[in-house]
Amino acid sequence: GAVVSQHPSRVICKSGTSVKIECRSLDFQATTMFWYRQFPKQSLMLMATSNEGSKATYEQGVEKDKFLINHASLTLSTLTVTSAHPEDSSFYICSAKDRADQPQHFGDGTRLSIL
Amino acid sequence: GEDVEQSLFLSVREGDSSVINCTYTDSSSTYLYWYKQEPGAGLQLLTYIFSNMDMKQDQRLTVLLNKKDKHLSLRIADTQTGDSAIYFCAECSNTGGFKTIFGAGTRLFVKA
């Protein structure tokens, strides 16, 4: 149980393109979803936390107009990287939990490469 | 703020035991987790322990918690090459709104 599906797994696109990444909880209702960014050989950097039906809470230094997060249902959250540039290239990982006192379950990540 | 620290690198020989250590600062931590990340993948929850427990064993994995010293360890018995990965320690406290704090990860390298 507790499967989180993240799609796509790999994206390569031109600078200036907007890219949408989906995160779905397959067998549980995700009241809270998280988006992380991970640079090579580095730890996870929490970008934002989203609760279903409400606006995402962004961490300090993360541009909310650049990284649009939508958590429209209890099983789906999306991260849109708007007008992506090469410095946005990274590994993006989502996670979800159904209850506050439960562990986070992670998707397999999305490798984003902006040319 | 609250912090979780772990050593960055560990190298062991196949068949030996691996011990990955972690320290945390939040004395009100309620849950402590170990996650495994293989190259190019997300994090997989390996095991977790409640703060009122001292030890938890699950097959080759043994988690030890010293709450007084705020020290958590993960022991992998009979380490295999397939255990090579990054292991993240994480803590979660009910007083912090159940926000999960992750360590920087320990890269385990298993030599054949």
- Residue B85: closest C-alpha in chain A: A41
Task: Please compute the mean of the pLDDT values over residues B20-45 and round it to a whole number.
Answer: 92
How does pLDDT run across A23-45, given as a tens digit for each residue? 999 999 998 999 999 988 788 99
Tell me the two tokens of residue A107.
């998707």
Of chain B residues 65-94, which have a CB less than 8 A from chain A?
88, 92, 94
Q: What is the pLDDT of residue B96?
A: 65
pLDDT at B2 over 80: no
pLDDT for the residue A7: 97
Which residues from chain A sit within 8 angstroms of residue B31, using beta carbons?
Answer: 101, 103
Q: Does residue A83 belong to the interface with chain B, where contact is any CB pair within 8 Å? A: no
Question: Does A101 contact B94 at a Cβ distance shorter than 8 Å?
Answer: yes
pLDDT in tens, B53-86: 999 999 999 999 999 999 999 999 999 999 999 9
Tell me which of A3 and B96 has the higher pLDDT.
A3
Which pairs from B66-73 meet CB under 8 Å and 24+ separation?
Answer: B69/B23, B70/B23, B70/B24, B70/B25, B70/B26, B70/B27, B70/B29, B71/B21, B71/B22, B71/B23, B72/B21, B72/B22, B72/B23, B72/B24, B72/B32, B73/B19, B73/B20, B73/B21, B73/B22
Tell me which residues of chain A have a pLDDT lower than 70: none
